[in-house]
Structure 1
């Protein structure tokens, strides 16, 4: 059974957000890449989907409720509200 996080980020300053994300992801042991207009955060665990962030677009990522990835993804997304706006919800009724 899956567990999915749904989110939309609209950046005001994507360059600053990317700089902060690079430091945070490096510290957490997550790989981060810039692919075209997307920021992609790749976990070490291959059973968790990458967190793909495209400004202004709704996206989702299946974490299957595996920790610490579910909590890390939520924290990363919530931290991006410092650089724009974030909408976030999950399969269990969490809403921001």
Structure 2
């Protein structure tokens, strides 16, 4: 069964957001990388897609694997401190 998180992100304070995400990922033992205006979070599990965050719309398939689904949701919502975030999923959740 598939499960997808959809998001629309506008990061206004990119450097601060990267520092915050890096701290979270280090604490949770997740690999994170930063490119030009792109944050990539790779979980150790191959069953979940990496979360690629950049300004604009995106999506990630987690197949409801925990704890990664919850971590991705928390990471996305925490980015609202550095801009704006809208999140929805296949099951009708939206914020």
5 Å-filtered alignment, 1:47-62, equals 47-55=47-55, 57-62=56-61
What residue number does 1:32 align with? 32
What residue number does 1:3 align with? 3
Over 4 Å off, 4+ runs? none
Structure 2 spans left out of the alignment, 5+ residues? none
Distance 1:11 1:38 in 2: 10
Q: TM-score, normalised by structure 1?
A: 0.95
5 Å-filtered alignment, 1:1-96, equals 1-55=1-55, 57-96=56-95
Two-structure CA RMSD over aligned residues (Å):
0.7
Distance 1:8 1:43 in 2: 21
Distance 1:35 1:3 in 2: 26
Deviation at 1:36, TM superposition (A): 2.7
Q: TM-score, normalised by structure 2?
A: 0.96
Structure 1 spans left out of the alignment, 5+ residues? none
